[in-house]
């Protein structure tokens, strides 16, 4: 999904500090976010949710009539089929609070004081992860890659080859960053949700993907290694 479409997503900002709400909303609008709603407490947030049905919430942990963790649970209960992405904003930097945020399903956690630009980057990262969209079919050197259907069409044989879930997730992460290096840690996070302990598994999946998409897996043209950095999906300009 394009950055313009992501910035059109509806954002709900909940914080009891009026000045912080004003600053954050001003920064977000200056960065191109067109749908920003603010609330100063839990009750205002619940009312705002019913009105705008936000696509992402920025929640302060400490609120006058409750806390952000409980509010997160309330908001997500409105639509359990579509969990609301949440970033917590807090003056606290304690392990217990971070764990509480993770238990309530936080997508990210930002400690005050924070740079508005850092917050924008974190919002965009969560939006990209939660609303990736479905890339069109991609023409690679030896095949056509259809991520929407987890399908590879070989140019040499005309055969359709199905991708496994992990292979699909790997290629999707690479396709979102076509012609750019994606680090090993970023790929492990995209495929397994963690960065530690999956480097060997990633190498195995890269090898298997190459067997499906490359004319000669030992000399890859599409899924190439950036030694010491990660991997890159090479996509011809005409197919982007």
Could you tell me the residue ranges of all domains in the chain?
3-130, 138-239
Q: What is the pLDDT of residues 81-117, one digit of tens each?
A: 678 999 998 876 665 666 666 666 788 888 888 888 8
Over range 207-235, report the average pLDDT.
97
pTM to 2 decimals?
A: 0.56
Lowest-pLDDT choice from 16-20, 97-101, 139-143, 146-150: 97-101
Q: Has residue 135 got a pLDDT over 60?
A: no
| pLDDT score recorded for residue 221 | 97
Q: Has residue 240 got a pLDDT over 60?
A: no
In whole angstroms, what is the distance from residue 19 CA to residue 199 CA?
44
- Classify domain 138-239 by CATH architecture: Orthogonal Bundle (1.10)
Q: Which residue has the higher pLDDT, 104 or 167?
A: 167
Is 3-130 a CATH 3.40.50.150 domain? Answer: no
Q: Has residue 27 got a pLDDT over 80?
A: yes
């Amino acid at each position: 999904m394009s950055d313009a479409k992501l910035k059109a997503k509806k954002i709900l900002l909940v914080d009891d500090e009026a000045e912080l709400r004003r600053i954050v909303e001003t920064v977000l609008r200056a960065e191109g976010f067109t749908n920003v709603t603010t609330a100063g407490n839990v009750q205002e947030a619940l009312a705002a949710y019913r009105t705008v049905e936000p696509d992402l919430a920025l929640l302060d942990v400490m609120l006058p009539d409750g806390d952000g963790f409980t509010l997160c649970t309330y908001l997500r209960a409105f639509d359990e089929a579509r969990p609301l992405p949440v970033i917590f904003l807090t003056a606290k930097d304690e392990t217990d609070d971070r764990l509480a945020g993770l238990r309530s399903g936080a997508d990210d956690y930002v400690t005050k004081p924070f740079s508005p630009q850092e917050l924008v980057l974190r919002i965009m990262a969560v939006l990209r992860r939660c609303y990736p969209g479905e890339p069109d079919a991609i023409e690679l050197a030896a095949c056509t890659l259809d991520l929407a259907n987890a399908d590879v069409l070989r140019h040499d044989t005309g055969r359709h080859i199905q991708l496994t879930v992990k292979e699909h997730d790997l290629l999707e992460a690479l396709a979102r960053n076509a012609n750019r290096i994606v680090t090993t840690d970023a790929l492990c996070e995209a495929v397994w949700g963690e960065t530690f302990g999956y480097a060997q598994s990633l190498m195995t999946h890269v090898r298997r993907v190459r067997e499906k998409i490359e004319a000669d897996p030992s000399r890859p043209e599409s899924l190439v290694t950036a030694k010491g950095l990660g991997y890159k999906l090479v996509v011809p300009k005409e197919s982007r």
